[in-house]
């Protein structure tokens, strides 16, 4: 009897945590080395043009990630052929060099805010393109293979 009650409670908690989730997906980075020319794409069919949404870039990194921040170039292709591109900067470590994010193993997951309070103007296919844009201090050219990023994801959730 107690096991059944516990399972029901867990099911309700799991359902309530995900009821606002519109979309989530991850792409694995081959050999945990994100090439500077490798663009991670997510094609999302948006149906809701009324709700207020948050859009997040999710990154998983391991202990081989050698920087305290990350620069990303994110482009969105909208159904009306508009393209918007942003260059983003996020912290990956605290002041002591400890990785931010969640996780109990060597893999840390970071949920990075891309856009908040977005109401999609058009239904249809929205394509998100994510590319790393890291450079070492004093170097003109970008890091060719950014080590330590294991997965790149995107998440859209309805905001209250």
Q: What does the domain layout of the chain look like in residue ranges?
A: 22-158
**What dotted CATH number matches 22-158?**
2.60.120
Predicted local distance difference test score (pLDDT) of residue 140: 84
Tell me what the mean pLDDT of segment 37-43 comes to. 98
Question: How would residue 8 be classed by pLDDT, with cut points 50, 70 and 90?
Answer: low
Model's pTM, two decimal places? 0.85
CA dist 26 → 29, 41, 79, 124, 138 (Å): 10, 10, 22, 21, 32
Predicted local distance difference test score (pLDDT) of residue 104: 85
Predicted local distance difference test score (pLDDT) of residue 19: 75
118 and 52 Cβ atoms separated by less than 8 Å:
yes
Q: Does residue 138 register a pLDDT over 60?
A: yes
Q: What is the CA radius of gyration of the chain?
A: 18
Which DSSP symbol is given to 101? S
- Percentage of the chain lying above the pLDDT 70 cut: 89
Tell me what the mean pLDDT of segment 57-75 comes to. 97
CA dist 131 → 25, 76, 85, 103, 105 (Å): 16, 12, 11, 24, 25
Predicted local distance difference test score (pLDDT) of residue 17: 56
Predicted local distance difference test score (pLDDT) of residue 4: 55
Tell me what the mean pLDDT of segment 4-21 comes to. 56
Question: How would residue 105 be classed by pLDDT, with cut points 50, 70 and 90?
Answer: confident
């Amino acid at each position: 009897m107690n096991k059944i009650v516990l399972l029901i409670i867990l099911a309700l908690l799991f359902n309530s945590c995900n009821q606002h989730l519109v979309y989530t997906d991850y792409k694995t980075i081959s050999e945990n080395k994100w090439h500077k020319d490798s663009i991670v794409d997510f094609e999302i069919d948006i149906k809701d043009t009324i709700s207020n949404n948050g859009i997040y870039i999710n990154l998983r990194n391991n202990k081989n990630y050698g920087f305290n921040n990350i620069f990303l170039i994110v482009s969105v292709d909208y159904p009306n052929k508009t393209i918007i591109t942003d260059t983003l900067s996020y912290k990956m470590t605290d002041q002591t060099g400890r990785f931010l994010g969640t996780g109990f193993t060597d893999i840390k997951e970071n949920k990075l805010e891309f856009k908040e309070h977005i109401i999609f103007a058009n239904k249809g296919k929205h394509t998100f393109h994510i590319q790393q844009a890291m450079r070492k201090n004093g170097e003109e050219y970008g890091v060719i293979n950014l080590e330590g990023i294991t997965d790149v994801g995107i998440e859209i959730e309805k905001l209250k």
